[in-house]
């Protein structure tokens, strides 16, 4: 019996050593936020002050072949308060510096939208569900999980230029009571240059998607473009962006209908200033679009949403940030006067590793 145990121990040790020797490189990252969130909504409901918290934990895996091709993926054990494991596809990095995302790759248009400063922390606010005006520059960036995205190496054809292209196809999901994304393609580019002491970044993207419905309505599409820039001079960053196109929007909580929104446009501006350990941000966005609940039929009345956001972030220690955020939203539905909106504030802390 003792002999068998010794043999088993040796086998386990050998397998363990082999497993370690052939293992991919794994790194971990994540964070946790906790704070107080106050909301005042213009729909007759009472003002609320609640604790908000959430965490994330991501494991990233990578290895390089003998030919120099990098292979990477990741999975998420927790993501804020969402349920289930969050996963990604594979990313191949080639010797010339280009990359290819395979499966759950996303849309290249969204890869190149310019980040616009706004509120700090978790100053979230939900308004009337019937407002379908978009408020993000990447609203056209839809994709199924069965897709790829190619990224060029840096300085593609010109110093400071990077481009991406993507495509996704039908993943087999059935269209029942609402429309389902069938296919998509996207193109995007980012150009980085300098003007004196100012670093300038310009980003742009274009995309088109097709939806399938139950057969009782015409197929619909999400399509559009965005363009934006940011300029950094010392501790000051200013940025602006514009997006335009048509989208298919989900009906929202408890609503089964899909909304087709045409003549949809979003304008965003923002600024960030860093002084020592303190970062000040302010941003404004204005979105409008004509919504229709009938697929294939253009909307006639316009929804509009204007958002003002601001924040203060203080670096307390390495990986620890204290945040104060504020957000104000004005909402108009169907061309009416202000229908719903409100304000929210947040004070809390983020810890990341």
Residue 9 lies inside a defined structural domain of this protein: no
Residue 177 or 93, more confident = 93
Residue 20 lies inside a defined structural domain of this protein: no
Residue 35 lies inside a defined structural domain of this protein: yes
Give the tens place of pLDDT for each residue, 251-310. Answer: 544 344 567 788 889 999 999 999 999 999 999 999 998 887 776 677 788 888 899 999
Residue 66 or 77, more confident = 66
Residue 13 lies inside a defined structural domain of this protein: no
What pLDDT band is residue 87 in, cutting at 50, 70 and 90?
Answer: low
Q: For residue 338, what pLDDT is reported?
A: 59
Q: For residue 247, what pLDDT is reported?
A: 85
Q: Which residues form the domain of 73?
A: 27-352
Average pLDDT over residues 133-147: 89
Residue 10 lies inside a defined structural domain of this protein: no
CATH number at residue 273: 2.40.160.10
Residue 264 lies inside a defined structural domain of this protein: yes
- Secondary structure string (H, E, C) spanning the chain: CHHHHHHHHHHHHHHHHHHHHCCCEEEEEEEEEEEEEEEEECCCCCCEEEEEEEEEEEEEEEEECCCCCEEEEEEEEEEECCCCCEECCEEEECCCCCEEEECCCCCHHHHCCCCCCCCCCCCCCCCCCCCCCCCCCCCCCCCCCCEEEEECCCCCCCCCEEEEEEEECCCCCCCCCCCEEEEEEEEEEEEEEEECCEEEEEEEEEEEEEEECCCCCCCCEEEEEEEEEEEEECCEEEEEEEEEEEEEECCCCCCCCCEEEEEEEEEEEEEEEEECCEEEEEEEEEEEEEEECCCCCCCCCEEEEEEEEEEEEEEEECCEEEEEEEEEEEEECCCCCEEEEEEEEEEEEEEEC
Residue 333 lies inside a defined structural domain of this protein: yes
Residue 19 lies inside a defined structural domain of this protein: no
Give the total number of structural domains in the chain. Answer: 1
What is the reported pTM? 0.83
């Amino acid at each position: 019996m003792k002999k068998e145990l010794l043999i088993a121990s040796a086998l386990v040790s050998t397998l363990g050593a082999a497993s370690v020797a052939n293992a991919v490189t794994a790194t971990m990252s994540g964070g946790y936020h906790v704070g107080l969130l106050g909301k005042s909504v213009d729909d007759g409901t009472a003002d609320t002050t609640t604790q908000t918290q959430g965490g994330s934990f991501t494991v990233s895996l990578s290895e390089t072949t003998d030919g120099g091709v990098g292979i990477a993926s990741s999975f998420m054990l927790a993501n804020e308060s969402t349920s289930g494991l969050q996963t990604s596809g594979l990313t191949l990095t080639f010797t010339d510096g280009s990359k290819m995302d395979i499966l759950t790759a996303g849309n290249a248009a969204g890869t190149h939208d310019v980040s616009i400063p706004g509120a700090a922390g978790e100053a979230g606010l939900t308004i009337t569900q019937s407002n379908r005006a978009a408020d993000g520059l990447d609203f056209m960036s839809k994709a199924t999980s069965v897709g790829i995205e190619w990224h060029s190496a840096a300085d593609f054809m010109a110093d400071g230029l990077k481009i991406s292209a993507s495509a996704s196809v039908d993943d087999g999901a059935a269209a029942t009571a609402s429309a389902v994304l069938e296919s998509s393609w996207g193109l995007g580019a980012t150009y980085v240059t300098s003007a004196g002491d100012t670093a300038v970044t310009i980003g742009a993207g274009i995309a088109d998607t097709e939806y399938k419905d139950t057969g009782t309505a015409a197929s619909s599409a999400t399509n559009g473009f965005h363009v934006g820039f940011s300029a950094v001079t010392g501790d000051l960053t200013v940025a602006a962006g514009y997006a335009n196109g048509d989208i298919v929007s989900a009906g929202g909580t408890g609503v089964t209908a899909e909304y087709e929104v045409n003549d949809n446009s979003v304008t965003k501006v923002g600024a960030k200033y860093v002084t020592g350990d303190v970062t000040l941000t302010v941003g404004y966005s204005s979105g409008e679009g004509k919504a229709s609940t009938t697929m294939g039929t253009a909307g006639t009345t316009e929804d509009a949403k204007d958002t003002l956001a601001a924040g203060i972030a203080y670096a307390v220690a390495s990986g620890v940030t204290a945040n104060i955020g504020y957000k104000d939203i004005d909402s108009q539905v169907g061309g009416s006067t202000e229908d719903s909106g409100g304000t929210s504030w947040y004070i809390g802390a983020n810890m990341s590793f």
